[in-house]
């Protein structure tokens, strides 16, 4: 596990905010004693900020409906967006699911390869154990077995499955350190375990095994830390050739009026657009920073775009120095106007930096517009590209811009 030190700016802001009378949340060092304390706290119906290798989770006892309802309340999350449940053993996963023999085989292969780790598998739920209310009234449950030692201990000590969505306000940026959790939930009585920066800093990949008549599929509901090729490879290694792996994540085709409306109002209103009907909780605007964000792919664009004057209030979220090379030293644009997801174009590094940089972008003074280098155009093909595109599109709500010098 990487052990990156806490960011000084985060610590400074935390120290300022933690003594406010309205602040109820607190960050605890992850000593064994504190993990036990958080486990007791959770078992009494309270909420814990849980570090994982992907992003931090807002954790409650999955068997305690009242506690799980607090998660929806604190996050402002609609009940049609189901929670995933975290386990610390395959037996625990079995205890809350009802698998048939066909599910069992593929589940066995995938869990053996990817668990513990950043893969969430949607399975038929044991509804005697898990309330439908946290499953968006459906009969499946997304299960994840995290590898992060603190998450594992918290589940082991609690000895119950733990429901945990990402620990951010609904539609805000996913948290990759304990301070991000604190800043979104400081007015709520939660105890946050400090597990430093999350290793992947990108959510788990969410998949569903679907067997219908003669069609056998693994559907990827949400692209994440594990790529499509990783899943295809393990199927092949296990001589499974009759399953197709299908990514449901795709670019949605908004019409020109919709793009115009979003661009002009920088609006959040299209958030009720579900990106695909099969995957609940996949909304258009998600993972968004509080700043106006646009995507730049060049000035030769036909669709509706915002025209932005090149000026020092822009923060470029660059890739492979592409925008840097184009705009540095023009109209007073300096080094400080750029952060680069990966200066040498490494997709894994881009994933690790993506949410962290969006959080940093919100904190940088005198910057009020984010412009992403269009990864769709400028990133080479690789299995993480679709994950990154998904997050970039959602962070900018698909809005594009052109840039005018002078």
Which residues are at the interface with Mg ion (CB under 5 A)? 166
Please state the closest distance from residue 77 (CB atom) to ligand TXA, in A: 8
| Nearer to Mg ion (CB atom), residue 30 or residue 282 | 282
Give whichever of 122 and 401 is closer to Mg ion, judged by the CB atom.
Answer: 122
Q: Select the binding partner of residue 206 from ligand TXA, Mg ion, none (C-beta < 5 to 8 A, by kind).
A: ligand TXA
- Write down the least CB distance from residue 19 to ligand TXA, Å: 28
- Beta-bridged to residue 339, according to DSSP, are 317
| Min separation Cβ 167 and ligand TXA, Å | 7
**Least separation, in Å, of the C-beta of 287 and Mg ion?**
7
Least distance to ligand TXA, CB of residue 301, Å: 30
Residues that bind ligand TXA (CB under 6 A): 52, 54-55, 57, 81-84, 120, 122, 135, 138, 140-142, 144, 164-166, 203-204, 206, 221-222, 279-282
142 binds, among Mg ion, ligand TXA, none (CB under 5 to 8 A by kind): ligand TXA
Shorter beta-carbon distance to Mg ion: residue 166 or 177? 166
Least distance to ligand TXA, CB of residue 204, Å: 3
* For ligand TXA, the closer CB: 184 or 203: 203
CB of 174 to Mg ion, least distance (A): 6
CB nearer to ligand TXA: pick between 144 and 191: 144
Q: Which residues contact 92 (CB under 8 A, 6 or more apart)?
A: 155, 161
Q: How far is the CB of 282 from ligand TXA (least distance, A)?
A: 6
Of the pair 89, 238, the CB lying nearest ligand TXA is at: 89
φ/ψ (deg, to 5) at 278:
-75, -30
117 vs 142 by CB, closer to Mg ion: 142
> Which residue sits closest to Mg ion, CB atoms considered?
166
Contact partner at residue 281 from Mg ion, ligand TXA, none, CB < 5 to 8 Å by partner kind: ligand TXA
End-to-end C-alpha distance for the chain, whole angstroms:
47
Residue 204 partner contact from Mg ion, ligand TXA, none using kind-dependent CB cut-offs of 5 to 8 Å: ligand TXA
Residue 195: contacted member of Mg ion, ligand TXA, none (CB under 5 to 8 Å, by partner type): none
353 binds, among ligand TXA, Mg ion, none (CB under 5 to 8 A by kind): none
């Amino acid at each position: 596990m990487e052990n990156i030190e806490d960011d000084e700016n985060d610590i400074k802001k935390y120290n300022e905010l933690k003594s406010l009378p309205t602040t109820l949340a607190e960050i605890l060092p992850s000593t064994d004693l504190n993990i036990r304390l958080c486990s007791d706290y959770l078992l009494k119906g309270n909420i814990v900020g849980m570090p994982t290798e992907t992003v931090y989770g807002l954790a409650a006892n999955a068997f305690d409906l009242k506690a799980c309802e607090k998660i929806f309340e604190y996050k402002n999350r609609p009940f049609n967006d189901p929670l995933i449940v975290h386990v610390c053993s395959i037996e625990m996963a079995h205890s809350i699911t009802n698998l048939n023999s066909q599910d069992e085989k593929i589940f066995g292969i995938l869990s053996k390869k990817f668990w513990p780790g950043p893969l969430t598998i949607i399975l038929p739920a044991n509804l005697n154990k898990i309330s439908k209310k946290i499953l968006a009234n459906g009969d499946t449950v997304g299960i994840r077995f995290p590898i992060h030692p603190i998450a594992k201990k918290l589940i082991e000590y609690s000895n119950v499955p733990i429901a945990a969505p990402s620990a951010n306000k609904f539609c805000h940026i996913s948290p990759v350190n304990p301070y991000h959790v604190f800043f979104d939930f400081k007015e709520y009585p939660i105890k946050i375990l400090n597990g430093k920066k999350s290793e992947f800093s990108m959510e788990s990949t969410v998949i569903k095994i679907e067997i219908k008549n003669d069609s056998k599929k693994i559907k990827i509901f949400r692209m994440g830390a594990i790529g499509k090729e990783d899943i295809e490879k393990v199927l092949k290694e296990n001589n499974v050739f009759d399953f197709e792996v299908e990514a449901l994540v795709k670019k949605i085709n908004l019409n020109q009026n919709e793009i115009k409306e979003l661009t002009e109002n920088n609006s959040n209103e299209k958030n009720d657009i579900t990106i695909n009907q099969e995957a609940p909780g996949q909304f258009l605007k998600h993972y968004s920073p509080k700043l106006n964000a646009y995507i730049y792919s060049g000035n030769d664009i036909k669709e509706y775009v915002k025209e932005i004057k090149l000026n020092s209030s822009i923060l470029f979220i660059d890739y492979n120095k592409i925008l840097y090379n184009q705009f540095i030293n023009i109209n007073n644009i300096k080094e400080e106007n750029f952060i680069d997801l990966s200066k040498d174009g490494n997709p894994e590094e881009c994933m690790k930096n993506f949410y962290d940089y969006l959080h940093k972008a919100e904190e940088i003074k005198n910057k009020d517009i984010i412009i992403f280098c269009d990864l769709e155009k400028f990133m080479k093909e690789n299995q993480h590209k679709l994950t990154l595109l998904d997050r970039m599109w959602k962070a900018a709500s698909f809005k594009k811009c052109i840039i005018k010098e002078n």
